[in-house]
Structures are given as C-alpha cells and as structure tokens.
C-alpha cells in the first residue's frame, strides 16, 4: 500500500504540538523502516533528541499522539539510543521538516 505524502506545513504543525507537550525535539524524518519497532508500510519514522525529563512512557505517548494526528503509525528513534554505524548514518539520512 502506498500512503499519500503528508503536507509539510501540516506535518510541522503536528510535530510542533508534540514537541510542546513532550520533552523531545524532532530532528527530521527518517526513511521508512528506520524505527524497527514499527512494522506497518505506511508508517512514518522520525529522528529525535530527548530533552531532560523524557521517560519511556512519554516517548510512547508522543508516538501515539503523533500517529493519531497524522492518521498513520509513527516511530520515533532517539539519537541518544543510536550506536555504532547507525549513530553516524541516521542523522545523515534524516530529512529536515
């Protein structure tokens, strides 16, 4: 299934609302499949930096709320969780919003 592209201004608006509510900063959009815990083909993957106070529960809530706003599954990969080659590759792959 090919999911339609998301309008960039609408995407930025939804991301800003999530960043305001949760202690994280979305850096950019990653290629599909980067967030290995999200399996759906129409999902959208993001690279983010965690801010002080972010818990695992907050991260899960942020994914769920952004998914609800976008109407498709969302995966958020934290930059601090990347190791090895992924720590170098993922930031380079992230498309700015």
In this predicted structure, the answer to whether residue 1 has a pLDDT above a threshold of 50 is: no
Q: How many CB atoms lie within 10 A of CB 91?
A: 14
| 18-51 pLDDT, tens digit each | 999 999 999 999 999 899 899 888 999 999 999 9
Helical residues (DSSP H) of 6-94, grouped into ranges: 8-21, 56-70, 84-93
pTM equals 0.90
Q: What is the pLDDT of residue 62?
A: 98
Local confidence band at 5 (pLDDT 50, 70, 90 cut-offs): confident
The answer as to CATH 3.40.50.720 being correct for domain 28-93 is no
In this predicted structure, the answer to whether residue 96 has a pLDDT above a threshold of 80 is: yes
Q: What is the pLDDT of residue 83?
A: 93
Tokens of 12: 């930025």
| Residues in Cβ contact with 40 at an 8 Å cutoff, skipping those fewer than 6 apart | 72, 73
């Amino acid at each position: 299934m090919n999911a339609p592209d998301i309008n960039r201004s609408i995407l930025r608006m939804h991301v800003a609302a999530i960043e305001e509510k949760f202690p994280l900063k979305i850096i950019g959009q990653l290629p599909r499949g980067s967030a290995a815990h999200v399996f759906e083909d129409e999902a959208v993957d993001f690279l983010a930096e965690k801010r002080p106070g972010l818990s695992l529960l907050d991260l899960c809530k942020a994914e769920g709320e952004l998914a609800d706003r976008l109407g498709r599954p969302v995966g958020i990969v934290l930059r601090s969780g990347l190791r090895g080659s992924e720590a170098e590759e993922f930031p380079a792959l992230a498309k700015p919003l």
